[in-house]
Amino acid sequence: MPQTYATLAVRPQGDHVLVVTLNRPEVLNAISTQMSREWCELFAGLATDPGDTRCLVLTGAGDRAFCAGADLKERDGMSVDVWRAQHAVFEQGFTALMECPVPIIAAVNGHAYGGGLETALCCDFIYAAKGAKLALSELRLGIMPGGAGTQNLPRAVGERRAKELILTARTFSAEEGAQWGLVNKVCEPGKTLADALETASQIAENAPLAVRQAKKSIHYGLQMDLLTGYRFEIEAYNRLVDTEDRREGVRAFNEKRKPSFKGR
Q: Residue 2 has what pLDDT?
A: 55
67: in domain = yes
Q: Write the CB contacts of 60 (distance below 8 Å, at least 6 apart in sequence).
A: 21, 22, 25, 28, 29, 66, 67, 108, 109, 110, 116
Assess whether 214 and 200 both reside in one domain.
Answer: no
Q: Is residue 2 situated within a structural domain?
A: no
- pLDDT the model gives residue 72: 80
Q: What is the pLDDT of residue 123?
A: 97
Could you tell me which residues are beta bridge partners of residue 218? none
Question: DSSP secondary-structure letter at 7?
Answer: S
Q: What is the CATH number of the domain that holds 35?
A: 3.90.226.10
Based on the fold, state whether residues 13 and 140 are members of the same structural domain.
Answer: yes
What's the CA gap between 144 and 142, in Å, rounded?
7
Of 204, 221, 244, the residue at which a domain comes to its end is 204
pLDDT at residue 82, as a whole number: 87
92 and 170 in a single domain? The answer is yes
Evaluate whether residue 264 is within a structural domain. Answer: no
**Secondary structure element (H or E) that encloses residue 186, with its range:** strand 185-187
CATH number of the domain that 233 lies in? 1.10.12.10
212 and 148 in one domain? no
Is residue 263 domain-resident? no
- Indicate whether 118 and 187 sit together in one domain: yes
Task: Provide the residue range defining the domain that includes 146.
Answer: 8-204
Same domain, yes or no, for 62 and 187?
Answer: yes
Asked if the bond preceding 208 is cis, omega within 30° of 0, the reply is no
Residues 168 and 235 grouped into a single domain: no
The predicted pLDDT at position 54 comes to 95
Asked whether residue 119 falls in the same domain as residue 246, the answer is: no
Catalytic residue set: 118, 138
Q: What angle do CA 15, 18, 23 make, to 5 degrees?
A: 145
- Cross-strand partners of 125: 105
Question: Do the strands 55-60 and 17-22 form a parallel or antiparallel pair, or are they unpaired?
Answer: parallel
Shared-domain flag, residues 199 and 210: no
Q: Are residues 243 and 192 in the same domain?
A: no
Question: Per the structure, how many domains does the chain have?
Answer: 2
- Sequential pLDDT tens for the chain (264 residues): 557 899 999 999 999 999 999 999 999 999 999 999 999 999 989 999 999 999 999 999 998 999 998 888 877 787 898 889 888 999 999 999 999 999 999 999 999 999 999 999 999 999 999 999 999 999 999 999 999 999 999 999 999 999 999 999 999 999 999 999 999 999 998 999 999 999 999 999 999 999 999 999 999 999 999 999 999 999 998 999 999 888 988 898 898 988 888 988
56/139 same-domain check: yes
Residues 61 and 71 in one domain: yes
Residue 3 lies in a domain: no
